[in-house]
Structure 1
Amino acid sequence: MERMPEEQETPKTSRFQWFIFVFLIPILFGITVALLVFTLSGNNIFETAREYSQKVPFLASVFDDKKSHSQEVMEEELIGLQAEVKDREARISQLESQLDSKDLELERAGLEKQRLEEEINELTAIKEENKRAFKDIVKTYENISAKKAAPILTEMKDEEAVKILSNVNSDTLAAIMEKMNPEDAARYTALLTAAKEKSGSNN
């Protein structure tokens, strides 16, 4: 009676061993050899498995879903990066335009300044020339006789005559006034007095 369990256990143990030696070990050995052969031949067993899985409807849909999802994410990132690049290019163009505008304004301001300086120099030169010419006129009236100068001055505009009379020396002024008729002499005397008073109040 005691040997009955041992006899029953022996077939179970031998069946398990038989399964390991006959079925499991050869399968593992075959898989190992297949992986080795594929690797040595330059084939990627996982890529090959994925290609074959594409032919199976269920597995193909799983790979396609993963691929499409990954592709959508990459496309969205690419679109975002392209938009960012365009924004930066637009900003750079705007800054370059503003810089060009500032440079143009500075150039115009420089040209306007140069034009004004040239105009001032020209007017200054004309003024100096007019001063020299006026001094020459005054000297001319001081050198000619009072008898000739008096009728010329009375024919001039009062403003011009007074300007000359106020710049000749006192002896010449007295001689010219003496050669004028009393009415003209009185009028020029009054005008000269007013001009001196105006000049004194300005100073």
Structure 2
Amino acid sequence: MAKEIEEIEEKKSNKFQMFIFVFLIPFLFLVTVALVVLSFAGVNVFEKSKELSAQIPFVSSLISEEGTQTEEEWEKSIIALEGEIKDREAKIEKLESEIESKDTQVERSNLEKEQLQQQIDELLAIQEENKRAFKDIIKTYESMSAKKAAPIITAMSEQEALKILTTIKSDQLAAIMENMTAENAAKYTELLTAESNEE
């Protein structure tokens, strides 16, 4: 009995082997060769199979449903990506405009800085000129006789007179004060004392 079971099993395995060698391997070889030949011939095998399956009633309904879903999904994803692209383009434009406005602000600031520097240079030049002119005035008063300088100084405003009196040499100052009236001499002495205390 064991021999009979072994023989039955051998026959079954022999039939299966026969099926593989006679049918399955040649069939797969033929399909592969056909795919290669059709591909070289320029035929899209997968498109053709899709067209043929679309003609079969039940299979065509499955394919069309899947196709519309994927198309809708593709359209949605394309719309979403286009929206993202537009958002990013808007952000880029906004950043570019901010950069341009910052650049114009920097240019304005540089122009203002240059103008202010020019004004400072002009004021410094004027100040230097005024210092030279004031030194010349002081030299003039120092070279004048005290008799002529005293009435001129008393005719000036107190501030201008005080400026000259604080700058001239002390011996010239004493001579000018001697040639002033007692009232004016007292007034200017008081102003000079207050000026020296402030310093």
Report if TM-score (shorter chain) is over 0.5: yes
Q: Which residue is equivalent to 1:6?
A: none
Does 2:106 correspond to 1:106? yes
SS for the counterpart of 2:79 is helix
Offset at residue 158 of structure 1 (A): 0.8
Are residues 47 and 89 of structure 1, via their aligned partners in 2, closer, same or farther at CA, if it must alter by over 3 Å?
closer
Q: How does 1:116-127 map to 2 (within 5 A)?
A: 116-127=116-127
Offset at residue 128 of structure 1 (A): 1.2
Q: Which residue is equivalent to 2:26?
A: none
The normalised TM-score by structure 2 is 0.69
Q: Which residue is equivalent to 1:178?
A: 178
**Runs of 5+ consecutive residues of structure 1 not aligned to the other structure:** 1-31
State the distance in 2 between where 1:41 and 1:194 align.
116
Partner AA of 2:102 in structure 1: K
The normalised TM-score by structure 1 is 0.68
Q: How does 1:122-161 map to 2 (within 5 A)?
A: 122-161=122-161
Partner AA of 2:136 in structure 1: D
Are residues 81 and 154 of structure 1, via their aligned partners in 2, closer, same or farther at CA, if it must alter by over 3 Å?
same
Are residues 53 and 140 of structure 1, via their aligned partners in 2, closer, same or farther at CA, if it must alter by over 3 Å?
same
Task: Kindly provide the CA deviation profile for residues 146-166 of structure 1, in whole angstroms up to 9, marking residues without a partner as x.
Answer: 222111111111111111111
Offset at residue 104 of structure 1 (A): 2.6
Are residues 82 and 42 of structure 1, via their aligned partners in 2, closer, same or farther at CA, if it must alter by over 3 Å?
closer
Q: Which residue is equivalent to 2:192?
A: 192
State the distance in 2 between where 1:191 and 1:42 align.
114
Stretch moving more, 182-191 or 112-121: 112-121
State the distance in 1 between where 2:105 and 2:88 align.
26
State the distance in 2 between where 1:48 and 1:163 align.
110
Q: Which residue is equivalent to 2:89?
A: 89
User: Percent identity over the alignment?
Assistant: 51
Offset at residue 49 of structure 1 (A): 6.2
Q: Which residue is equivalent to 2:80?
A: 80
SS for the counterpart of 2:167 is coil
Task: Kindly provide the CA deviation profile for residues 109-167 of structure 1, in whole angstroms up to 9, marking residues without a partner as x.
Answer: 22232222222222211111111111111111112222221111111111111111111
**Runs of 5+ consecutive residues of structure 2 not aligned to the other structure:** 1-29
State the distance in 2 between where 1:63 and 1:165 align.
112
State the distance in 1 between where 2:41 and 2:123 align.
98
Task: Kindly provide the CA deviation profile for residues 82-125 of structure 1, in whole angstroms up to 9, marking residues without a partner as x.
Answer: 12212221222232223223323322322232222222222211
Partner AA of 2:109 in structure 1: A
State the distance in 2 between where 1:167 and 1:119 align.
28
